Amino acid sequence: MKPLALSRPVRGTSLIEVLVTMVILAFGLIGIAAFQSKAQVGTIESFQRAQAVVLLQDMQQRIEGHSANAGDYVSSTVYGTGDGLPDDCSAYADGSAARDLCEWSRALKGAAEVKNSAKLGTMANPRGCIEELQAPDPSDGVCRQGIYRITIAWQGQHETVAPALSCGQGLYGADTYRRAIATRVAIGLPSCH
């Protein structure tokens, strides 16, 4: 008996195998591109949060540095984007709350980093608020410290849960794009025993 021989030897790959490989590769590249896009958004969000923390600490130190006049920092004004404060704060007295608030507003607007007259050094549409949560009361028997909340809000890159803090509420379209972080400052009363 004679062994069976193949009529033609198999050479190379078929067109179908090449097409299947290309489709799998295309889906893989699309997945990598989507991941890269998400990572970029995460990086931007992280940068903005870090900038907000720096600006929170700046105002906290300003209030603590002028603790006797901490109430002067409280305002219904939302500082930063659209607040109308000038770029030049020299009209305000050095060491005053008004000067500190003007300089903080400039920092919120990104004045620390400028390129071709565009302010680039901060978050998207940043705003800052300072509220009095508890008024100081030095009277005998009460001796209650002042508690203030500093909040910074900005516009995020994607929707998420709306923050409970009210600073900047309604100023970013859908509130789910608003980001906000806050810190509290407690100012003690040295005259209390």
Q: What Cα–Cα distance (Å) separates residue 133 from each residue in 42, 102, 115, 171? A: 33, 22, 39, 23
Residue type, 59: M
User: pLDDT per residue over 136-165, tens digit each?
Assistant: 888 777 788 899 999 999 998 888 899 999
Q: pLDDT above 70 covers what percent of the chain?
A: 87
Q: Are 187 and 63 in contact (CB under 8 A)?
A: yes
Q: Which has the closest alpha carbon to 187: 114, 113, 130, 108?
A: 130
For residues 9-24, give the mean pLDDT: 81
Give the distance between the most distant pair of CA atoms in the chain: 119
Q: Which has the closest alpha carbon to 73: 35, 45, 99, 106?
A: 99
Q: Are 114 and 121 in contact (CB under 8 A)?
A: yes
Question: Angle 44-149-147 (CA atoms, 0-180°, nearest 5)?
Answer: 155
Q: Does the pLDDT of residue 103 top 80, yes or no?
A: yes
CB atoms within 10 A of CB 110: 19
CB atoms within 10 A of CB 161: 7
For residues 107-136, give the mean pLDDT: 82
For residues 4-19, give the mean pLDDT: 71
Q: What's the DSSP call for residue 121?
A: S
Q: Retrieve residue 17's tokens.
A: 């195998």
pLDDT reported for residue 59: 95
Q: What Cα–Cα distance (Å) separates residue 88 from each residue in 43, 107, 187? A: 32, 12, 29
